[in-house]
Structure 1
């Protein structure tokens, strides 16, 4: 009788576990209306004039995955950005880029002794692009939204399918987020941004705060995350002026 009771309990536990697993899988398979989410994101972003935060960035270029970079930044619309690397390997590097200022060039310097001299760089030139998949002109939440939007429009025009599913909910740097996975057409030659992307969207702000991008070999090529975002903080011209005494240009 004891053996039978244990068997019944074990069977009950297995059935319960199976039901929980099936329920979990059903959540993972929940499709999402990406256009509706994008509309909410644009509405939220439209209310933002400026923001600050910490950018965590890691990229693969060719066969090499570069070390993670940790960057404090300030961003103001239409396009002004100040960045300071706050951890190794590029600690104390600084750069400023303001659209229409300095002949549309970056003002930058390295950390340490070699950073005594500031230089002006073409954002898309070889020096500025070294170790980067994107120029600084691609920086920011607004540009990420544009990439998503352009790929959706491309798919609609071509009659291709982009599948977006909800993978659950997670905290990212203490922010409650919805975790999404987007899968694009398998044919690389169709010209989509990537094969697969995992995106974390702030539940309150409706804005993406983390993205992991995979290529057509399904290897991670881009990993970006925003920490400690603060919106509409009242940035001024001083925040994007290399003569600011808080900076080391």
Structure 2
């Protein structure tokens, strides 16, 4: 295991145990191996990942592989070319395979993407030749019924930062309720890159306080971004709610406004 080759079990037992916030703040300075941090305190790893994404990740492009259960039915695997910028938050998605209602979607956290009713909206190029011929571009509320019918999350909840923030949100809620079961389960690989794997178990019921019963998150060992997330309705992992995988990731490529044109 990376970072553990020169440590015995006794060495691990003697490592000081610090609160998660302290570990997250001091991990880099103290040069604690990330594999050790992940094993001893996965919550600290998550918070360190949040700090690093907020501090270092300005933008990125990737191929996003998404499969979700919507209205009780598991949809096909979608392949999407994505671009993301953190300031202002800007998202562009271009469906390459299995587009549903939209072929392209663009959203930015700017006044241009707010309608007269004060709702956040996205600009959309419809899927299908006939639809595009009739309506080359439309706008839709990002939290409207069309958006909810197409995805479990809204487009402003997309990206590495939002994923980590949601992870932390429900971790904190579960911790307050005494229901958090968070585990480091070893190492994995996503798109050929090594990852740390963290799993979470919650008392899930449809429509309840928690979004899933089991969540598996892969953190890229170099970047500490969540490159794969698998959400299940059962602890055994037999009923998939959502699968979200990033491949061909390129960080800090210098995306401009032109990269977010529809």
TM-score range with shorter-chain normalisation?
Answer: 0.7 to 0.9
Q: Report how far residue 102 of structure 1 moved.
A: 3.1
- In angstroms, what is the RMSD of aligned CA positions? 2.3
| d(CA) in 1 for partners of 2:101, 2:125 | 11
Q: Report how far residue 203 of structure 1 moved.
A: 0.9
Q: Report how far residue 129 of structure 1 moved.
A: 2.6
Specify the alignment match of 2:214 in structure 1. Answer: 196
> Which digits, 9 at most, give the CA deviation of each residue in 1:39-59, with x for residues without a partner?
220122021111110111000
> Which digits, 9 at most, give the CA deviation of each residue in 1:21-72, with x for residues without a partner?
xxxxxxxxx9651221112201220211111101110001232100111100
Q: Report how far residue 98 of structure 1 moved.
A: 0.8
126, 144, 147: which is aligned to 1:110? 126
Alignment TM-score, normalising by the size of structure 1: 0.77
> Which digits, 9 at most, give the CA deviation of each residue in 1:135-182, with x for residues without a partner?
111111111111111122213323x14222233322211111122221
Contact 2:82 2:93 in 1 (8 A): yes
Specify the alignment match of 2:20 in structure 1. Answer: none
Contact 1:86 1:92 in 2 (8 A): no
Residue 50 of structure 2 is aligned to residue 39 of structure 1: no
Contact 1:53 1:74 in 2 (8 A): yes
Indicate how the Cα distance of structure 1 residues 89 and 188 shifts in structure 2: closer, same or farther if over 3 A, else same. Answer: closer
| d(CA) in 2 for partners of 1:99, 1:83 | 15
| d(CA) in 2 for partners of 1:121, 1:190 | 27
Specify the alignment match of 1:14 in structure 2. Answer: none
Residue 148 of structure 2 is aligned to residue 129 of structure 1: yes
Alignment TM-score, normalising by the size of structure 2: 0.73
Q: Which runs of 5+ in 1 are unaligned?
A: 1-29, 243-249
Indicate how the Cα distance of structure 1 residues 123 and 179 shifts in structure 2: closer, same or farther if over 3 A, else same. Answer: same
Contact 2:204 2:233 in 1 (8 A): no
92, 97, 109: which is aligned to 1:99? 109
Give the secondary structure class of the aligned counterpart of 2:183.
strand
Specify the alignment match of 2:242 in structure 1. Answer: 222
Q: Report how far residue 189 of structure 1 moved.
A: 7.9
Indicate how the Cα distance of structure 1 residues 82 and 150 shifts in structure 2: closer, same or farther if over 3 A, else same. Answer: same
Which protein is bigger by CA-based radius of gyration? 1
Pairs within 5 Å for 1:1-249: 32-46=40-54, 47-78=56-87, 79-90=89-100, 93-100=103-110, 101-103=112-114, 104-113=120-129, 114-116=131-133, 117-158=136-177, 160-185=178-203, 191-216=209-234, 219-242=239-262
Contact 2:204 2:211 in 1 (8 A): no
- Equivalent pairs counted in the alignment come to 212
